[in-house]
Structure 1
Amino acid sequence: MNYKQFIYKPGKKNSLKDFDSDFAAGFSKENTQEMLNENAERIAKYQDLLMAHETNGLLVIFQAMDGAGKDAMIKNVTSCLDPQGCEMKMFKAPTEKEVKHDYLWRAAQSVPARGQIGIFNRSYYEHVIAERIHPEKLEQYNFPKSVIGKDIWKKRYRHINNFEEYLLDNGIHVLKFFLNLSKETQREKLLERIERPEKKWKFSIDDVEDREHWDEYMKIYEEVFDRTSTKIAAWHIIPNNHRWFARAAVAGIIAEKLKSLHQKYPTLSGEQKQEIEKAKEMLENKESRKSKSNKD
């Protein structure tokens, strides 16, 4: 699969209309499952290399409208990961403590260490998306009035780009996904959430009320992608009307990114080799003495 077709090209004027949410590249549910299984194995393999080297880390960000299946996507993608090397952060409403800090503070606390994979379910991008639709979310931070000007969003785009560059300068790579579904597909998914007993608990009236702002959200998302899809941290616009295709595409992109970081296990130093030989000798001698004792 050509994963580059999903990139919101940095430095160029794109449009979300250029990305078909119904696209499936001619694949069927059956053959994408095979692809998903193969990429799951690749992700597990390259995560092991990431953990062995401890020189790079990977932060994976998921943004989407409600009903896009972020939770299921993350559950599906992380099922192949070693939990010792992976941590997931869900960005719900900020706590009383969090609103007293700068808006990137809680994200900075959850950035993965080198050798680790961090997954953000929503992210610091909520501060340039949701807070524009719902000003009360911005007001709860109680920023000085001088901060809340017309240029606040332009400044935040710059902050975010600088933050992601800073992370890369420290070995943390950022991979960003927008799960792109149509308004009609969202309606179907929200109805399904209402009607199915095992999904009712996920329903919130806010999800339906936010549909009234759909066009505004799309306009803001497009601006966010224009300003923050960069060469070092591009946005991937994933067709999401067919979730089976979206999962296969996301898994493939993550596998390719991990592969680009490490393809071999680290070379052992002379001291490490000596320690291994010593440990081997100790274990073999102990087993040899035990075997001899049993014969006697």
Structure 2
Amino acid sequence: MPKLIKSINDAILVQPGEASKLAQRSTVADELFPEREAAEAETKENAKAIDGLQDALWAGRSRALLVILQGIDTSGKDGTVRAVFNRCGPLGVAVTAFGRPSEEELAHDFLWRIHMAAPKKGMIGVFNRSQYEDVLVVKVRGLAPADVVERRYEQINAFERHLTENGVTVLKFMLNISKDEQKERLQARLDDLAKNWKFNADDLEDRKLWSDYQKAYEVALDRCSTEHAPWRVVPSDRKWQRNAIISAVVRRTLEDMNPKYPKTDWKPSDFKIT
């Protein structure tokens, strides 16, 4: 493993069985990517490599990769998708954004809609929010009884183990931004007419519950960082650092998966294009 990749993992990994200590984790990553120009060049190079690896993954269709992006409002989930997967064709990448569950989804168990969106063999699936909403917003807002929420941590762990045991590699990223940075990003949505559509007054209500959300995230990180699907907490105040970090981990994960193009049972020389 290259030194930089190893240092990234050391910096952002939540070791299974250990406390995440979210409050002590930095929201900037100057020790990993101090220079913006170099970080952006690294992201572009990683995105190019991810495109090639995804092509082989799609061609082989024996395994899948699930990338989970979880974070508070304005943490940059959409921006991450654009930066990391912009070179990939739409054929082998599927992005699912989970909002409030529909009546149909509420009529099933909370993991039903998640499993329905899990990537099939050959695909990279990207979740913008995920099953963790059911132990985050549901917990903070009191949308389900405490004992129901408590059971969900182990249910999520079992679900993710099921995926990994059936050929789906799971990468989980918590995009960690500061409260001050969120304030700036929310204000930008008010100041820029082109960004007004992004502003949601409900985000201000969630902002009032900042401390509660941080505690809920910490519990989820502590309880659900496992050997088969560990959490990584990504410093995300600087978008270019966030993108460089995540693209590096996604690239290395795909390289470790080592997807191969399938062999054909015919020779190109058997055919002639006229």
Equivalent in 3, 24, 35 of residue 8 of structure 2 = 3
The one of 4, 24, 27 equivalent to 1:21 is 27
2:86 maps to which residue?
Answer: 79
Match of 2:151 in 1: 155
Deviations 1:139-193 (A, max 9, x none): xxxxxxxxx4x43233100100000000011101111011100000100110001
- Pairs within 5 Å for 1:209-288: 209-262=205-258, 264-266=260-262, 268=263, 272-273=264-265, 276-277=266-267, 280-283=269-272, 287=274
TM-score, normalised to structure 1's length?
0.86
Partner of 1:101: 108
**Residue 265 of structure 1: how far off its partner (Å):** 3.1
Distance in structure 2 (CA, Å) of the matches to 1:255 and 1:81: 12
Say yes or no: does 1:53 pair with 2:60: yes
Could you tell me which amino acid in structure 1 is paired with residue 14 of structure 2? Y
Does the 8 Å CA contact 1:24/1:242 hold for their aligned counterparts? no
Amino acid at match of 1:76: A
2:134 is aligned to: 127
Q: Which residue is equivalent to 2:178?
A: 182
Aligned equivalents of 2:246, 2:29: Cα separation in 1: 14
1:141 maps to none
Tell me the distance in 2 between the aligned counterparts of 1:258 and 1:197.
39
Separation (CA, whole Å) in 2 of partners of 1:24 and 1:65: 22
- Name the amino acid aligned to 2:206: D
- 1:212-237 deviations in Å (ceiling 9; x for gaps): 11111101100100000111111110
Q: Any gaps of 5 or more consecutive residues in structure 1?
A: 139-147, 288-296
Contact 2:60–2:260 (CA under 8 A) maintained in structure 1: no
Deviating more after overlay: 15-24 vs 81-90: 15-24
SS at 1:283's partner residue?
coil
Structure 1 residues 92 and 176, CA, compared in 2 at 3 Å: closer, same or farther? same
State the Cα distance separating 1:8 from its structure 2 match.
1.0
Structure 1: how far apart are the matches of 2:118 and 2:170? Answer: 10
2-structure distance, mates of 1:239, 1:17: 12
Matched position secondary structure for 1:185: helix
**Which AA in structure 2 matches 1:18?**
Q
Matched-pair contact (CA < 8 Å) for 2:46–2:84: no
- Which one of the candidate residues 194, 197, 204 is aligned to 1:201? 197
1:32-66 deviation line (CA, Å, top 9, x unaligned): 01111111121112112211221110111111111
What is the RMSD of the two structures over their aligned residues, measured on CA atoms?
1.5
- Unaligned segments of structure 2, at least 5 residues: none
CA distance in 1, matches of 2:28, 2:245: 13
Show CA shifts across 1:115-143 (max 9, x none): 1011110011000000011124x4xxxxx
Give yes or no for contact 2:64–2:121 (8 Å, CA) kept in 1.
yes
Give 1:263 deviation, angstroms. Answer: 5.2
Identity value in percent: 35
1:71, distance to aligned residue in structure 2 (A):
1.2
SS across alignment from 2:110: coil
What's the CA shift string for 1:245-284, capped at 9, x where partnerless? 1001111110011111115434x2xxx33xx23x643426
- Does the CA-based 8 Å contact 2:43-2:84 persist in structure 1? no
Conserved? CA contact 1:7–1:234, under 8 Å: yes
1:256, 1:130 → 2: CA distance? 31
Contact 1:24 1:239 (C-alpha < 8 Å) held by counterparts: no
Tell me, yes or no, if the aligned pair for 1:76 and 1:247 is still in contact at 8 Å: yes
For these two proteins, the number of residue pairs brought into alignment is 267
**Shift of residue 78, structure 1, vs aligned partner:** 2.0
